[in-house]
Chains A and B, each alone.
Chain A
Amino acid sequence: MDISTRSVGQVAVIDLHGSLILRENADELFDKVAAFIASGSAQILVNLSDLARMDSYGIGIIIKSFKTTKSAGGHFKLTSPSSFVRQLLTISGLMTLLEVFDSESAAIASF
């Protein structure tokens, strides 16, 4: 999995590429989130548009990142999941836990 980061205003954006699964260093996402929070940026948006696959381990990392951000007083949101990833997020109940947006601009505007 590849991860790149950028900032849009006050929001730290994390772009995920490839697969968020156990075997492909999914923990790196949490490391990035923790680093943003440590540097004082607790408004985090994860862009899933280029994420092809995710398993329960990846879901666990997203939940962990959400909890950490929330306890730091920030917000953790998702944007642009593919149809497959959206289905997985829905089935595992994350759509009721997190705010998930269809477009990045709508997500940025919600912070």
Chain B
Amino acid sequence: MLESFGMLLVGLGLFVNGSNLLSSNLKSLTSRRFRLTLTKYIGKPWKAAIIGIVSSAVSQSSSVITFILAGLASSGMITVGNALPIWSWANVGSAILVALAVSDLKLAALYLLGIASLSVAFNKPVRYQRFMGAVYGVGLLFFGIQLMKTGATPLANLDAIKLVISNGSHFYLIAFLVGALLRLFIQSSSTASIIAITLAQANLLDAQQTMMIIFGTNVGSAATVMLLSGNIKGTTRQIVWFHMIFDFVGGALFAVLFYAEIYLHVPLVMALVNRFARTLAGQMAEVYLINRLVVALISASCSSIAYNFLSRVSPPTQEEELTKLHYMHEHAMDDPDLSLDLIEKEHARLFSRFPDYLESARNERRADLPDYRLLNKAFVSISTELSAFLADLMKNKDMDSITSGRLLNLIDRNNLIISIEKNVFQFVQTARKASEIRSLEMMLFVFIEGMDSLQHAAVEAMESMRVEEIDLLLTITFDRSNLMEQMRKESFNEGQSLNNQDRGNLFYLISLFERGVWLLNKLGRSLKKLAAEDTGTEPEWSVEPAVEHALTMPLD
């Protein structure tokens, strides 16, 4: 008997590990490609259904789909209205694994596991290691099921088990709760259901108890997202709540139907599966499919109403508004010129936020502006998307030479904007540290206001793309290394009373300012070239006459 328990335990462990291995390898195989597919084919209900089914068949978890959709919606890549039907159908795809798991795949599992484990062990072929990792996961999963079946069969002869099964009607609700708890711990409804079906095949559970475990996994899934969504707000919460509500409805509805069939003898799910499948495992796989299909149909047909309700209850947060792409979208990728126009607009939008960072460094800051850390987080998110779009555009071989040239310029500018943002972020961070030193108050004020005015001039140049504004930017960001060197000397004298750390911060702040000016000048040059290209002329590199005048004046 101990050997049977051991086998059951090993089988369970291999099965859960295999499931995790499959899921993690498929996720890393598919993340960006998967997201591109999702955003490209959404819109029509039938497309949402196909994408939902395929995506959950691939990821084997509706929770994973929920969080991918939530991420896409909160970054503005898709709307919540488009995301909800995809989630609805994502429930159905996981039934494929259940159907496969109940089939007799003993021999296939052995070969799969053998080949994949050797491939992973020798790291060959290197290129397909993620894929082989996923296959290894499938092999472990099926081998685990076989071990569980073998280990569980002798247990069915235990008196305690026989007692439970013979008094099955008293344990329906407990089975339902067991299903919920199993889902909560294992984090996969299909995995929890396969475990129940495997135990039923070994006669440890009867058909009714297994059904209730399957229905209970819906409630477990709802409970999982409820526990995870404690701190989630805005668009993400809309999708998570949609998941929670309809999973709960699915579990509760089927539990009611189950009792109606048992006690009122209304022919429902049990009667239906008895007509089609011969084996118990086949019947249970059908129960799982019917359950998921009904939840999908109900939730998909209610998605518009649910969306209106959820968007009122949980509107997008300030962070989500900041993190959303406003112009660029996946559909634009079919037209490279349009994509470049939209990316330029996104750049200008991101750039216009840089002066707002500096508000966090001021003593009397405006409460209506977001914190610089939040702005940085939003910037990183959007610039990552834009960099990915630009990288994808580089793969386009049908681009004409003018568009290619424009793309290269835009990639340069994208990198420059990333550098400018990093510089502004570090400048604010350092200024905040230095603001604790009273003796530096005036010097800090000068640096912060100086940086702010330069950023505003750069925003004006970028938004207008007028030659006069660009020339002005180039003039005020003229090389001032002499001035900065002098400021360093003055700071050194003034900073005699400071400790090493504070003096280090002060010098770092001056360096960041100097670098900021240099970067803005570089941006000005890039804008000037672009403006000249637009008019088909050569850029004229002139500076204001006052530059000569100023450079010959003694510095105070």
Contact = CB atoms under 8 A, between A and B. Distances in A.
Interface of A: 54-56, 59-60, 63, 67, 83-84, 86-88, 90-100
Given A56-B456, A60-B453, A93 B476 contact: yes
B161 interface: no
Interface string B447-469: 11110111011000000000010
B451 to A, nearest CB: 8
Contacts of B456: 56, 60
A96 B556 contact: no
B506 to A, nearest CB: 15
B476 A88 contact: no
B453 A95 contact: no
Nearest to A94: B476
Interface stretch (B45-53, B368-376, B477-485): B477-485
10 contacts: A54-B449, A84-B446, A91-B483, A91-B513, A93-B450, A93-B454, A93-B477, A96-B478, A96-B543, A96-B544
B118 interface: no
A92 B472 CA distance: 12
A93 B547 CA distance: 9
A92 B556 contact: no
A91 B478 CA distance: 11
A90 B453 CA distance: 12
A62 to B, nearest CB: 9
A84 B550 contact: no
B433 to A, nearest CB: 20
A56 B553 contact: no
A30 to B, nearest CB: 15
Given A63-B457, A63-B472, A95 B553 contact: yes
B472 A97 contact: yes
A92 B478 CA distance: 10
Contact of A86 (B517, B551, B556): B556
B483 to A, nearest CB: 6
B158 interface: no
A59 B549 contact: no
B446 A96 contact: no
B537 to A, nearest CB: 21
Given A91-B446, A92-B476, A83 B556 contact: yes
A93 B471 CA distance: 13
B453 A100 contact: no
Contacts of A94: 476
Given A93-B475, A96-B546, 6 more contacts: A59-B453, A60-B456, A93-B478, A95-B546, A96-B480, A97-B547
Contacts of A83: 556
A100 B547 CA distance: 11
The 3 closest A-B pairs by CB, nearest first: A93-B476, A91-B450, A56-B452
A111 to B, nearest CB: 14
B555 interface: yes
B358 to A, nearest CB: 8
B449 A56 contact: yes
Contacts of A60: 453, 456
Given A93-B480, A96-B544, A84 B442 contact: yes
Nearest to A23: B364
Contacts of B549: 99
Contacts of A63: 453, 457, 472
Nearest to B366: A22
Contacts of B449: 54-56, 59, 88, 91-92
B497 to A, nearest CB: 20
Contact of A56 (B453, B475, B513, B550): B453
B428 to A, nearest CB: 14
Contact of A97 (B358, B476, B556): B476
A49 to B, nearest CB: 15
Contacts of B547: 96-97
Nearest to A83: B556
Nearest to A53: B445
A55 to B, nearest CB: 5
A67 B468 contact: yes
Nearest to A64: B460
Given A90-B556, A93-B477, A98 B446 contact: no
Contacts of A55: 449, 452
A96 B472 contact: no
Contacts of B477: 93
Nearest to B555: A90
A86 B487 CA distance: 13
A92 to B, nearest CB: 4
A84 B447 CA distance: 12
Contacts of A91: 446-447, 449-450, 483, 513
B465 to A, nearest CB: 16
